[in-house]
A and B are shown apart, each in its own frame.
Chain A
């Protein structure tokens, strides 16, 4: 599904990713953990194609295609979804309008038929029900006044509607209490599928109790320094980053 080869990326000339390599197969859940400043967010932004995150060398192949050659909206249409750590508010734009615009924008880029208002509403209602999202949340302006948990659940709703092949969850657990966390994890788990992969970026082991990963990687100083299965995360919790990174070096 995704192959990252020796990726170097900089922000304003400062190199953050210093040779990141990673392989993610279809249907797999990979966790990326690491200390602050390691380059976790940079990785997700570089994959999504954000302006200002300059890839200086390396390759990224997504579903057999050169991902870096695509514009960010094209990457989204190809199947990349980034769940933001801090989802943005857009006043005056209802959640429903935003969702419809996104779904149809991607459909158009893929040359697929666009959904009309009635069709779309039907799809949204079904999906919202499955994820326990209220009608009210659909009508409110996008993320405006949403609690942390509601914002994250809204990200999951978007994911459910856009049906990505690779979902990057950027610190989805930040700002959530245990109940909210469980709800979000439940939603994500409902979306697991053999043709869908997840990159779960997180600081803490806690989220991984609910979204159980197939692989865990430690990102430090712009590179993946250690990989393992889910037990690696538990060891990390016990011993801390320094110990495990030190051991790898």
Chain B
């Protein structure tokens, strides 16, 4: 379309905003993965003996496993020995007493990413656990959260201060037998967030974590564990950025959520990692295992994700609906442009009685990208009165991309009521012209229409991040109308 030709050219040249590398010295473990490296990691973190044993058991198991190949994604074989599994920025003391003691280069890194650790940030009321490569640097708002008894700290710190809590729940939702990447994570996880909300407490603010992969070839193996005890509520936001690299970087995180009786966990993700250049070179591999256990009756876990980055996205945030009357929700926007590939969806396992699940998936494909929704709704024999509603919509921009839907519905209980709706569409020329004829240029029109398409999911995001997400949707699709 002649109208769009100019715009296409301009925007293909636009550089990834977060593309830069921080100069900071990193302390690396030697390349490769072995029991020695696992021990090194555990020792560096001063972990209790039982934690080292868990890691070693996982590592030994991992050696016997083979990489799964059933997803609709293609990538060159990963050489697991050709990477660093530990990188920490050098800090003068092991425990910085104040921000003054933190490497100014590091602080500049955070500023570029838009997370200044300053008084102003405090005033907005968002607690930020800033993770730099494999080590968490500063945690703000701990005092305020401590007042109500909420624990929000790096998992490495939790292992030191609340080992019994961590031990009780770690691996209870994603065991180290689960899958190849989860097992790898269990062996070499570097750090991540630990959240515990005591009974009856409604966490007073959104909790959030920022990640950044810096050192070349360092796999990010984040491990996050969030527990909402009886009647508790917490909303957690995960947002990631990463610099431009030429080598692919593996991100195999594990997130476990546990919601006890009458508790609720809301987990939102806005992800815009480096997706590779317009020719498909470089970019992050995002192979993540995320799962929530609605352990108690009347509990609720809600996943909301806006995935616009990564060269390859492979993740299925899922819910185990164990408690009676428990509710699981999955709201997703997955955008794949240029040569990105995404195979993402969810699994809702109905085990308890009168459990409900809701799946709203919006997949947008552009350029030469391939976007696959893969979902499983499984109703156990004893799961009386299960209800599911699934709506799976795909939007194709241009004629060279692909959208695929692979829904699995397995019901072993005749009282289950499962609904599935799916649509595939493209932005019609008429719709676009309608906007343009009112003075709205093509780029803005596409963003407007796509945001409308994604509205139901965007509405689920916490207010503070909904605006960022909307902009992200627009930016991700620049130059994609064809």
Those of A136-153 within 8 Å (CB) of chain B: 141-142
Instruction: State whether the Cβ of A105 lies closer than 8 Å to any Cβ in chain B.
Output: yes
User: Cα distance A82–B2 when bound, in Å?
Assistant: 21
Instruction: Give the most central of B2, B434, B456: most A CB within 10 Å.
Output: B434
User: Cα distance A142–B453 when bound, in Å?
Assistant: 12
Is there contact, CB below 8 Å, between A51 and B3?
yes
Those of B350-401 within 8 Å (CB) of chain A: none
Is there contact, CB below 8 Å, between A91 and B441?
no
Is there contact, CB below 8 Å, between B433 and A105?
no
Instruction: State whether the Cβ of A50 lies closer than 8 Å to any Cβ in chain B.
Output: yes
State which of A8-16, A68-76, A227-235 sits at the interface with chain B.
A68-76
User: Cα distance A162–B440 when bound, in Å?
Assistant: 12
> Of B429, B434, B439, which one neighbours A162 at CB under 8 angstroms?
B439
Is there contact, CB below 8 Å, between A72 and B436?
yes
For chain A, the count of residues having a C-beta within 8 Å of the partner chain is 31
User: Which chain B residues lie closer than 8 Å to A158 at the CB level?
Assistant: 438
User: Which chain B residues lie closer than 8 Å to A84 at the CB level?
Assistant: 434, 437
User: Which chain A residues lie closer than 8 Å to B437 at the CB level?
Assistant: 48-50, 72-73, 76, 81-82, 84
CB within 8 Å for A93 and B444 given contacts A51-B429, A51-B433, A72-B437: no
User: Cα distance A106–B440 when bound, in Å?
Assistant: 7
Interface mask (B422-460 → A, CB under 8 Å = 1, otherwise 0): 000000111101111111110010001101111110000
Instruction: State whether the Cβ of A123 lies closer than 8 Å to any Cβ in chain B.
Output: no
* Distance of B460 from chain A, by nearest CB (Å): 14
Is there contact, CB below 8 Å, between A90 and B436?
no
Those of B1-29 within 8 Å (CB) of chain A: 1-3
Those of A2-33 within 8 Å (CB) of chain B: none
Is there contact, CB below 8 Å, between B455 and A105?
no
Interface mask (A153-175 → B, CB under 8 Å = 1, otherwise 0): 00000100010000000000000
Those of A66-118 within 8 Å (CB) of chain B: 71-73, 76-77, 81-82, 84, 87-93, 97-98, 101-102, 105-106, 109
User: Cα distance A2–B451 when bound, in Å?
Assistant: 37
* Distance of B280 from chain A, by nearest CB (Å): 29
Is there contact, CB below 8 Å, between A93 and B448?
yes
User: Which chain B residues lie closer than 8 Å to A82 at the CB level?
Assistant: 437
> Which residue of chain A lies nearest to B438 when distances are taken between CB atoms in the complex?
A102
User: Cα distance A98–B431 when bound, in Å?
Assistant: 12
> Of B1, B431, B448, B454, which one neighbours A88 at CB under 8 angstroms?
B431
* Distance of A110 from chain B, by nearest CB (Å): 9
* Distance of A46 from chain B, by nearest CB (Å): 12
Is there contact, CB below 8 Å, between B433 and A73?
no
User: Which chain A residues lie closer than 8 Å to B431 at the CB level?
Assistant: 88-90
Is there contact, CB below 8 Å, between B440 and A101?
yes
User: Which chain A residues lie closer than 8 Å to B440 at the CB level?
Assistant: 73, 101-102, 105
* Distance of B445 from chain A, by nearest CB (Å): 9
Is there contact, CB below 8 Å, between B439 and A88?
no
Is there contact, CB below 8 Å, between A73 and B2?
no
Instruction: Give the most central of B3, B441, B452, B454: most A CB within 10 Å.
Output: B452
> Which residue of chain B lies nearest to A48 when distances are taken between CB atoms in the complex?
B437
> Of A51, A92, A93, A105, which one neighbours B439 at CB under 8 angstroms?
A105
User: Which chain B residues lie closer than 8 Å to A91 at the CB level?
Assistant: 452-453
Is there contact, CB below 8 Å, between A73 and B441?
yes
User: Cα distance A150–B183 when bound, in Å?
Assistant: 58
What are 7 inter-chain pairs, A to B, with CB distance below 8 A? A73-B441, A76-B439, A97-B448, A98-B435, A105-B444, A109-B439, A141-B452
Which 10 residue pairs spanning A and B have beta carbons closest together? A92-B452, A93-B452, A92-B455, A76-B439, A106-B439, A102-B438, A88-B434, A105-B439, A105-B440, A72-B436
